[in-house]
Each structure stands twice: as C-alpha cells, then as structure tokens.
A and B are shown apart, each in its own frame.
Chain A
Amino acid sequence: MNEIDKYIIPQKDAPIDRKAEIKTVADNAIDAPEPLSERERRCRQTMRDFYEGLRTMLGAAPIRHEKSEWTETMRSIQAWKMTPEQRTFRRTLLYKHENTKPTFAWRKWRWPSIIIINVLFVVSYWLDVQLVEGALTASRFVGFHMADVNSSLQVVLAYKELLINLMIGLVTVMFLWWLVGGRSFCSWACPYHLLSELAEMVHLKLAAKGWALDIPLDRRMRTVLYVIFAILAFVTGYTVFETISPVGIVSRALIYGGGAALLWVGFLLLIEIFLVRRFWCRYACPIGLTYGFVGATSPVKIQWDATKCLHEGNCRAVCLVPHVLEMTIKNRAHKSVMEAGPDCTRCAMCLEACLPGALSMKVKGIGDLL
C-alpha cells in the first residue's frame, strides 16, 4: 500500500463528526456554558497551542489531537488531499523526491554567522579595536553592554543582587534574540553548536556504518538539569553551571586561549559522536532552554502548510529538536497552518529538507502586511 493510500478519508458532513465537534466546543467553554464565538474559540486554541509548545519544550510528549478537534479547514484539506487527482499528483512528487538531494543553502548564512560573531570577539581583542569586548557570557558591543541571559541568571542567583549593567545587557540581548525568535542564539551564534554540528556529521557517517549508537534520551532531562543548576547557584552561591558551560569555555578559549577546560568539551563531543546524537544541545543545555523561553513569543516563526506537506519526514530527520515538527506527521496537525514550537533553533535546515516547500519562515505583523 502506498504511503498516501493510508489516509482515512473523513465523510463530509457525517453526523458523528458534527456531534463530536459540538462536544469539543462545549468542553472548551470553561467559563461560559453557551457555545463560544468562532473568534473566541480560535483565540483559545492559539493560547492552548502556545502552552502546548512550552510543555513540549520542557520535555512533555506532544499531544495527539483527536480528529474531532480538527478545524473545519483542516478537515476539508484532508478530504481534498484524498481526491484521486491529488493522490496521483503527490505520488509523482514523492517519486521525484526520492532521487532529489536537498541543498542546505541556509547553512551558507548560518555557519558564517556563527564564525563571524565569534571571530569578531577574537579580532576585536587581538587588534585592540574595542568592537566587541568580552566573551559570549558578557560583552560590550561598541560600548553597549550585552549579557548572556543564562550567565546573568546564574550570577543573579548566586550573588543575589540585581546588577544594573547586567540588567541593561540582559534586556538588550533578550530583545535582540526575541526579535529573531526561538533558540536562534543556538544555531546562529553559539560556537559549541557549530562544533556539535560537525560532530553530528561524523556521527551520521559512523552510525550509517554501524560504528556509533544513537540512543534517544528523555527530553525532560534538560528541564531537570535547568532546575538543578538554578537551585545550585542559589544555594551554593557559586555559578556552578558556568564551570562546565561549553559555550563559555569555547568562547573564552577562542579569545583568550584554551586550556584543560576544553577536555570537557571534547568529552561532550565524543558522547555526541558515539552515543547520543546532539546530546548537549538537544537534551542538556540550560542556555538553550533559557533562550527558548526568550524567543517563545517572537514574531519570527517557522510555519507549516498542510496543503503542501507530503508527510515525508525529511524535516524531522535533519532537525535538532524534531518534536517541534510533530504536526508534520500524518494526522497529527489539528490546524491547516501551524507554527514550530519555541524549542526551534531557526536553523532553517527543515525549510530546505522539505522539498514540497510546506515549511517557510514567516514574520508576523510586518510580514503579514507585506
């Protein structure tokens, strides 16, 4: 049986579906007993999707929506997708994709971005031009304070005092990363991310030959580590996490020269190559979670379009955080247009991996007007 043939074609206007829909509407109405207006219903659904995104980021398994919870549009798209012409059309597409390799053109922007940001720190120090002084944990960009959100959090928890310069830097950095959204810091600025991506390439080569394992971990681990490190900073009065933060270690090593601390980074990379693919970035890093919260409400989104999706799964195969693309799995989306969750690093690999172009980067507000 063909992949596409597995679709269940819902009966249009089937009485059972109607009943179910009315039931969900009633279930959603917590305060008001009478049925909600369409606008209100959509508003609540958006809020629920937002909390669902945060929950998933913290490690919960994504919710599977019943067909009865799907929107009317989603259902009609599904029905349309089942028409014989569409099936044949998509089958030819799938066949074509089988022999097409995606180009990772965004990487040509992203890798230079990571390199340029980190090289600016190095060059600024070595040439003494005072462009970006400091390291990724805290710096001055042409005199303006910048501070890493997670490092600041550690300092504030350990030192138990709000430091004005730090707050200025913190708010600036939070705003900048909020603008681009998600965990953009990770894939567009973090030097460890680049090392980890290279390690991932090695891992995939080795895994294909059976020389490396890829054991998925429990995603709740990152949330637990986050809480533990926050408590440790507060209780011990030391910035405990900074001791092992590979981001700080690599950034300082680039600027001031490396030392024994790089052994820890090497150890992490070895785990990522041989045991758990993208161990640190996917399952452990509290910095990533911090930036996930910062960018959760950003106007920049990765948008998924049900009409174009062939459910091939290529996007999730390249994704650092595949749980943000759960809606691309067949019969998982309850809306025809959905956004990737806050854990998304905006690396844009999925955009290119998706050959039918169902995923796109959208800027809300201004983007809608344009």
Chain B
Amino acid sequence: MAVKLQNMVAKKPLSGRKQMERRSFLLSLLLGTGTVAAALAGYVPILSGWVKRLRPPGALEEPEFLASCIKCGQCVQVCPVEAIKLADAGDGFGNGVPFIDARTQACDFSCDAVQCVLACPTGALTHEIDKKEQVRMGLAVLARPEACLARQGQGFKGVARGADFKGLHRYIAVDRWNPVRIADQPYDLELCDLCVRECPIKDAIRLIPMSDDPADKRRTPLVEEACVGCGMCEMICPVDPAAIVIEERKTWQQAAVDSFISGEAV
C-alpha cells in the first residue's frame, strides 16, 4: 500500500516487483503472439497454392478435408502398399495430413475394400464410398505424349522402373493377397501397354490405334470415365519422368472445360 502511494505521489522508478510484472507481461505478449503467428503461418502454403497433393481415396474437397482430418495417420497404417504418407510442416495447415505420391508408390487397391476409408475416424475420407470404383482422386492425363512408348509403337522389355525401385503392386497371377515388388516382375511386351495392363479399375484406360492403317503399331492411351485417379499408371510408366500422370482432384467436368479451351476433343 505504501509503495503504491509512493508511486502515485512521486513518479519514482518502478519497484522491482512491478518491473518483473511488466517484463512478464511483455514477454507473454511476445511469445503468445509468436505462437499464434507460427500457427497462422500455416495459411501461407494454403493460400499460395503450394500444396497440390493427391489425397487418399475418398478424401473430401480440400478445405473440408483439411478441416475434418484429425492428423492421426490411421489410413497410413492400414494401407498394404504403404502408399499413404503424412505431410510435413511445409504443408502449413496440411501438416500431418495424408497424401499419396503416386510416382513413388501409388494406391493400387491391393486392399480391395478401401481400407483407408474404413480406418478414417472422422470421415475426412468419406464413409459414403465402399468400393474402389466410387473413388475420385483425380484423373490420369497423358502429360508427355511424345515420351509414350505405345505412341511410338515401341515394346517394353525388362523391369518397369529399374531394379532399385521399391514400389509395390499386387499381381493377381503371382499372389492374390500380397503385393510384391515391381522390380521383381520383368516384362517382355511387343507393345508397351503397362498403364492399361496394371490399371486396377475396369475400363478406365485403353489403347486405341493412332491411324486407320492396320500395319501401324502405334497406339495411344485413352483415359475413360471410369478412371478414379489412383495413380497406378503413373507409377508403372517406364519412361522417366512418366508420360502419364495424375492431375489431382481433376474432374471430367473440368477436363471438358480444359479441352474446350485448348480446342481438343476429350
């Protein structure tokens, strides 16, 4: 009380206690603001559109997906080919959110019944789907037609992605239940049709002739409506970088708009 009065009467320097309190308050303000700022920095990758990720099967639209995902990685744990990974701090608000890098390891539905969707506790991977055919992750697009072996009429001999490639795929003829290494499965094809051959979805992709000449061996892959965007074609494509890739979250509607703009037929 006496100290208080003294301070009020004459502008004496603050007491040690008061000084401590002021220092505490200012440092709290600084560290508190810093904490909020660090968290809000997560906005930067989102707003600037750095984060373009292929999400696991059943993922809701991106904002809803980031909101509802609880970042637990249960989807990661059930995936038999370990296709799903969790994003790091660079993804901002997407830190800890699952994604698939199809070129390294695509989802080939080895689990048969979208296990990741069943594992998701929040429905960020929507529980409304239960078959692989219902999945819509994106669409396969022939990004580098000039590199496509089929379009050059070439065959393919050897292992698809080199002997060191760690990617897994379920070859039903080899093992119905367990995915095996792609590097252990050499091919000998007269015309490369790996993207069609290994596609896990029926009628999602096929090769069509490039001319009316029956002697012309050249074929081009045609992505059909059934494509779910799993990325198996991108993983197996033997040229580097892949001729066919997945455009994440692309829909046929958007594909139609794109082709209209570029003047090509779908």
A-to-B contact residues, CB < 8 Å? 125, 133-135, 137-140, 145, 147-148, 151-152, 155, 158-159, 161, 163, 165-166, 169, 215-218, 220-221, 224-225, 228-229, 232, 236-244, 248-249, 252, 255-256, 259-261, 263-264, 271, 275-276, 279, 283-284
Contacts and interface: CB of A to CB of B under 8 A. Distances in A.
A159 B124 CA distance: 10
Contacts of A215: 23-24, 27
Contacts of A283: 28, 31
A253 to B, nearest CB: 10
Contacts of A249: 95-96
Given A140-B121, A261-B95, A256 B76 contact: yes
B123 A163 contact: yes
Given A217-B31, A238-B93, A242-B95, A137 B25 contact: no
B67 interface: yes
B122 A155 contact: yes
B31 A140 contact: no
B250 interface: no
A163 B68 contact: yes
A228 B35 CA distance: 11
A225 B32 contact: yes
A137 B72 contact: yes
Interface string B205-222: 000000000000000000
B159 interface: no
Given A147-B121, A163-B123, A276-B31, A264 B71 contact: no
Of B25, B32, B38, most buried by chain A (CB within 10 Å of CB) is: B32
A256 B35 CA distance: 25
Interface stretch (B3-11, B40-48, B258-266): B40-48
Interface in B69-87: 69-74, 76-78, 85-86
Contacts of A248: 71, 96
Contact-residue size bin, chain B (C-beta under 8 Å from the other chain): 35 or more
Nearest to B41: A243
A229 to B, nearest CB: 7
A221 B28 contact: yes
B67 to A, nearest CB: 4
A324 B39 CA distance: 29
Contacts of B58: none
Contact of A252 (B20, B23, B71, B121): B71
Interface of B: 20, 23-25, 27-28, 31-32, 35-36, 38-40, 42-43, 46, 63-64, 66-74, 76-78, 85-86, 88-90, 92-93, 95-96, 119, 121-123
A189 to B, nearest CB: 15
A238 B121 contact: no
A248 to B, nearest CB: 6
B257 to A, nearest CB: 26
Contacts of A224: 32
A232 B32 contact: no
A134 B74 contact: yes
Nearest to B78: A133
A192 to B, nearest CB: 14
Q: Is the interface of B mostly helix, strand, loop or mixed?
A: helix
A111 to B, nearest CB: 24
Given A165-B123, A284-B32, A259 B88 contact: yes
A169 B74 CA distance: 14
B25 A218 contact: yes
5 contacts: A139-B74, A158-B66, A163-B122, A229-B39, A238-B66
Nearest to B89: A261
A284 B72 contact: no
A155 B70 contact: yes
A54 B117 CA distance: 40
Of A147, A256, A279, most buried by chain B (CB within 10 Å of CB) is: A256
Contacts of B123: 163, 165
B24 A216 contact: yes
A260 B31 contact: no
B190 to A, nearest CB: 40
B66 to A, nearest CB: 6
A284 B35 contact: yes
Nearest to A220: B28
Nearest to A166: B122
Contacts of A279: 31
A260 B90 contact: yes
Contacts of A284: 31-32, 35
Contacts of B32: 221, 224-225, 284
A239 to B, nearest CB: 7
Contacts of A225: 32, 35-36
Given A252-B86, A276-B27, 10 more contacts: A135-B71, A135-B72, A151-B70, A159-B64, A166-B122, A221-B32, A243-B92, A252-B96, A256-B76, A283-B31
B77 A243 contact: no
Contacts of A216: 20, 24
A134 B40 contact: no
A133 B77 contact: yes
B77 A151 contact: no
Nearest to B74: A134
Nearest to A259: B88
